[in-house]
C-alpha cells in the first residue's frame, strides 16, 4: 500500500511536532505494510501553515534517508494546498509543491460551504498543465449526495483521493457512507491516511480499511487506487 496524503513533516503544520514523532509514525507505517509515503504538509494562505518548498525540502532530506535505511520506505514531498485563486502564482514562485515535482497537485476545499469560483480555479490549474487531486471528497458536507459535482470535477480532469480511515468511521457516519458510495461509483483514484500524530490509529488500522475497499471495487481498481496510481504520480505518468 502507498499513502498519498499525510502530515508527517514535523513542525510545519498541525501534524507531527518533532522528528521523534515522525520516526514513530514511520515505524507504524512499516508495521502496517506501507511502502511509500507522500508527505503533504498543509499550505493555507493567510495562516501559520505557509512553510515554503525550500524549507520543507531541508526538513525532509534526513527523513528520506532514515525512512529508506531503517524501513525501506520511500518518502516524497508535496503539499495539501487549501484552494485559492493564487495557486498558480504560489506554484510558479516555488511556495507550494506538486507531488514529487510532478504535474499532480493535492488540494482541499472548505468543509462546509461551496465556492462560486471553484471550477474557474480548477480550469486555471489544468490550463497550465497541472492535474488537481481533491483530498478527502467524502468529508465535504456541502456536497453530500451531490454526485453530479464529483462527476463534473472528473470531467474537468480532477482526480480524487479518499481518506481510508473514513471507511472505519473516523470522520463520522455520513463521511463513512459517502466514502463507500464514491468507491462503488469508481470515482476514487487514490487512498491516503491523512495521519497527523502517533496517537492516531490510522496506520494501525490500515489493513482493516484495505479489506473494506477490496469488497467495494474490483481487483484492478483496488490495485490502481492503492498502488499503481501512486507510482504514476511519482514518475509523472498519465493516469
Q: What is the pLDDT of residue 187?
A: 98
∠ CA 78-82-85, nearest 5°, is 110
Set out the domains of the chain in order of their start, with CATH numbers: 2-234 (3.20.20.140)
Q: Which residues contact 125 (CB under 8 A, 6 or more apart)?
A: 87, 88, 105, 131, 132
Do residues 36 and 216 touch, judged by C-beta distance below 8 A? no
Q: What is the pLDDT of residue 236?
A: 98
> What secondary structure does DSSP assign to 137-204, as a single string?
GGG-GGGTT-HHHHHHHHHTT-EEEEEGGGGGTTT-HHHHHHHHHHHHTT---EEE--B-STT--TTT
Radius of gyration of the chain, Cα coordinates, nearest whole angstrom = 17
Q: What is the pLDDT of residue 150?
A: 97
Cα separation, 140 vs 11, in Å, equals 27
Q: What is the pLDDT of residue 120?
A: 97
Burial of 213 (0-12, 13-18, 19+ CB in 10 A): buried
CA-nearest of 34, 6, 33 to 22 is 6
- Tell me the per-residue pLDDT of 61-119, one tens digit each, with 9 for 90 and over: 999 999 999 999 999 999 999 999 999 999 999 999 999 999 999 999 999 999 999 99
Which band of pLDDT confidence, cut at 50, 70 and 90, is reported for residue 145? confident
Do residues 22 and 16 touch, judged by C-beta distance below 8 A? yes
Do residues 235 and 60 touch, judged by C-beta distance below 8 A? no
Whether 163 shows a pLDDT value over 90: the answer reads yes
Cα separation, 239 vs 236, in Å, equals 9
Mean pLDDT of the chain: 97
Cα separation, 162 vs 121, in Å, equals 21
Whether 233 shows a pLDDT value over 90: the answer reads yes
For 203, what's the count of Cα atoms within 13 Å in the CB-facing half-sphere? 28
∠ CA 138-82-43, nearest 5°, is 125
Provide the β-strand partners of residue 132.
105
Amino acid at each position: 500500500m502507498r499513502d498519498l496524503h499525510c502530515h508527517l513533516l514535523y513542525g510545519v503544520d498541525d501534524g507531527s511536532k518533532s522528528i521523534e514523532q515522525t520516526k514513530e509514525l514511520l515505524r507504524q507505517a512499516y508495521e502496517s505494510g506501507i511502502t511509500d509515503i507522500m508527505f503533504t504538509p498543509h499550505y493555507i494562505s493567510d495562516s501559520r501553515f505557509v512553510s515554503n518548498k525550500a524549507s520543507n525540502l531541508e526538513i525532509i532530506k534526513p527523513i528520506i534517508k532514515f525512512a529508506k535505511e531503517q524501513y525501506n520506505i520511500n518518502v516524497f514531498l508535496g503539499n495539501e494546498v487549501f484552494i485559492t485563486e493564487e495557486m498558480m502564482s504560489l506554484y510558479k514562485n516555488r511556495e507550494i509543491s506538486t507531488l514529487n515535482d510532478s504535474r499532480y497537485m493535492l488540494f482541499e476545499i472548505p468543509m462546509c460551504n461551496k465556492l462560486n469560483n471553484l471550477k474557474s480555479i480548477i480550469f486555471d490549474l489544468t490550463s497550465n498543465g497541472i492535474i488537481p487531486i481533491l483530498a478527502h471528497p467524502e468529508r465535504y458536507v456541502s456536497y453530500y449526495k451531490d454526485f453530479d459535482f464529483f462527476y463534473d470535477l472528473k470531467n474537468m480532469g480532477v482526480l480524487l483521493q479518499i481518506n481510508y480511515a473514513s471507511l472505519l468511521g473516523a470522520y463520522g457516519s455520513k463521511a463513512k457512507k459517502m466514502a463507500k458510495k464514491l468507491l462503488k461509483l469508481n470515482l476514487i483514484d487514490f487512498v491516503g491516511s491523512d495521519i497527523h500524530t502517533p496517537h492516531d490509529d490510522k496506520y494501525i488500522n490500515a489493513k482493516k480499511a484495505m479489506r473494506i475497499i477490496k469488497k467495494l471495487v474490483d481487483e484492478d481498481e483496488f490495485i490502481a487506487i492503492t498502488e499503481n496510481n501512486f507510482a504514476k504520480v511519482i514518475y509523472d505518468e498519465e493516469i
